[in-house]
A and B are shown apart, each in its own frame.
Chain A
Amino acid sequence: MTAPTESETLLEVTDLRTRFRTPAGTVRAVDGVSLTLDRGRTLGIVGESGSGKSVLSRSIMGLLPKRNVTCEGSIVYDGREISSLPPAERRKLWGADMAMVFQDPMTALNPVIRIGRQITEGLRFHLGLDRRTANENALALLRSVGIPEPERRMKQYPHELSGGMRQRIMIAVALACGPKLLFADEPTTALDVTVQAQILNLLARQQRERNMAMVLVTHDLGVVAGRADDIAVMYAGQIVEKAPTATLFANVRMPYTEALLASIPKLDEPRRTRLKAIPGRPPSLIDPPPGCRFAPRCPYAQERCHREAPPLRESEPGHVYRCWYPVGVEPRRDGAADRTDTPTPTGAR
């Protein structure tokens, strides 16, 4: 499948900035994000609501509306700069090269079009298949995503299926034309707990079988923990920490990541505590604070944090973070004394 000349890197995003013009002001939803993704690998993007993680994946794909939105930066896909492509050229990539699985299967399938047609549409459009072949492909797809009685499903409408079933359909739609890169935008958030694992496993299996790269967007570190090769944590439109999964969990540097980790539900606890454990709210993206964006909520924040924005620093190969006083680096250069004075917040340690 992989041509010998191809490089390992599938996607390279450099300094991506997405802005929305709104009546209230310009929202910097994605503010200078850089990342790379190799073929067949999985990148987990984790963050709270409003951290810009959904906008990020849509910006990379180019799915955002044209008006009142500006998107700058470089996006190199498969060795080709795609950010400057005209919309029609860019669109050719959608479905065929990169595809997206949306969060809410209740609203992301067209309620008035039969399942079959929603799957075959892309096949016929991109691959120019005739109706028969497209239908056969769709049946095979439905089987591969674990849909029982695919012939019958083809003729049904989305509302006739359960949520998990619909998410499987959506995955089938996204996989239809064999994309090399799949964006899964909170693919399990809207689903029942018991179904979540099934869907994640399905995604992982499909990814393995197809040697497809995946960007798994979620607010739940627990979701990406065992599934992503690398994890990028986003906060207020920026990547605040990024590392290979094992490294990240072993050596957390950014207090925000630490707080996220602390809020992963334990198996024996009711799962709902999640991010609510972090006090306060993310800053406004219209006029972000001058210093570290997490400073107002950070239990370790110092005077400098409020004044100066920390750059992205590398602590070990592949592990970058954005913090003046990183967690676990002892003794801290100038904050060690302060830190012992600061009462340790409950739930953070």
Chain B
Amino acid sequence: MTLARELGKRFLSLAVVLFLVTLFTALLISMVPGDPVDTLVPLAESEEADALKAQVREDLNLDEPLHVRYASWLRDFVFGDERGEHFGDYFRVSGRDPVSNRLAEALPVSLQLMVYSQVLALVVAIPLGVLTAYRAGSLFDKVTNTGAFALMAVPTFVLGLALAYYIGVWLNWVPPSGYVPFGEDPVEHVRRMVLPSLTLAAGQIAVYMRLLRSDMVATLQEDFIQMARSKGISDQRVLWRHALRPSSLTLLTVAGMNVGTLIGGAVVVEVIFSIPGMGTAISQAIFERQYVALQSFVAVLAILYVVVNFAVDILYAVVDPRIRHARARN
């Protein structure tokens, strides 16, 4: 049926986007002005340095044309190089150090942070959005909306610094920085993740709440809401059972698209709260000019983002059965 064709089209577009994204990241090194090797191996002139440089030049196929470079990068990225490494190496004075180790440490931490903040954002924003729509025009609605509007204008790093200082240092409720794995000490893990998650969630709460409110206000005008009310069921039930799901489509789209903002925000939040996630790894890689590592980090995040968006797109069908039949999206 058309559903299969639709899915096929989506998979094709997914493949093309993945191809171009990896092409961009793979060729990131080639964009470095001058001879990339000098930047990649920032060692003083010496025989070992020259040998390392020559080897790096060969490993990265820097003398080959771009398509060969891309092909070999992609091959290594997917299947691993001759040593089984997928993500290349850090070039250190002490020698080469696989990026995969760092990635294995950093990615789960970032994912934790993002999931916590997204869950927190939705848990706070959905009830607020529903209630402000229900009480549209009331004082509660106006105050909440104004607050949300102001919150959206607070840059993540400002909020992060403010929370770290006032709640972490001044009030001393939770540690202002650092990370403890969940497995090591669950309580401490939560204590340390509260402020970063809150910082990252704040902006999203405002955006989600406002989105849901405006969609919900529109839904509450619908005939089927009148119909549901006329059955005599409680307002609570009308709101949560009848109005929420048809109103949540935009919210879902934006929550999906927001993963990009979330990743960007996580980078900043991690640096502020000294959390060893992808953001810290990226800014370290930039600081140390480890472009091979940077390349891999960017590629991993981009792929993650593309795949999440794809999944969200598929999720629509579950939320709104009408879309299964007629997808009116351009």
Contacts and interface: CB of A to CB of B under 8 A. Distances in A.
A binds B: yes
Interface of A: 61, 63, 67, 91-96, 99-100, 102-104, 107-113, 121-122, 125-126, 157, 159-160, 170, 173-174, 176-177
6 contacts: A63-B230, A96-B232, A100-B230, A102-B227, A110-B228, A113-B241
A94 B223 contact: no
A108 B232 contact: no
Task: Pick the 7 closest A-B CB pairs, nearest first.
Answer: A94-B232, A95-B232, A108-B223, A107-B223, A122-B231, A95-B231, A110-B224
Interface stretch (B193-201, B207-215, B315-323): B315-323
B178 interface: no
Given A67-B137, A122-B232, A122-B233, A108 B227 contact: yes
Contact of B233 (A61, A102, A125, A157): A125
Given A93-B232, A121-B231, 17 more contacts: A91-B232, A91-B234, A94-B230, A94-B232, A96-B232, A99-B230, A100-B227, A102-B223, A102-B226, A108-B224, A110-B224, A110-B227, A122-B231, A125-B237, A159-B321, A159-B322, A159-B325
A61 B321 CA distance: 32
A110 to B, nearest CB: 4
B235 to A, nearest CB: 8
Contacts of A61: 230
A67 B136 CA distance: 10
B181 interface: no
B289 to A, nearest CB: 52
B321 A157 contact: yes
Interface of B: 137, 222-224, 226-234, 237, 241-242, 245-246, 319-322, 325
A91 B233 CA distance: 7
Nearest to B243: A110
A176 to B, nearest CB: 8
Nearest to A160: B325
Q: Which of B233, B234, B319, B320 has most chain A Cβ within 10 Å?
A: B233
Given A67-B137, A107-B222, A112 B230 contact: no
Nearest to B136: A67
B231 A111 contact: no
Nearest to B229: A63
A91 B319 CA distance: 29
B320 A111 contact: yes
B228 to A, nearest CB: 7
Given A112-B245, A113-B242, A157-B321, A125 B231 contact: yes
B224 A126 contact: no
A125 B223 CA distance: 20
A117 B259 CA distance: 34
Contacts of B228: 110, 121
Given A92-B232, A95-B231, A96-B232, A111 B322 contact: yes
B232 A107 contact: no
B299 to A, nearest CB: 38
A99 B228 CA distance: 11
B43 to A, nearest CB: 62
Contacts of B223: 102-104, 107-108
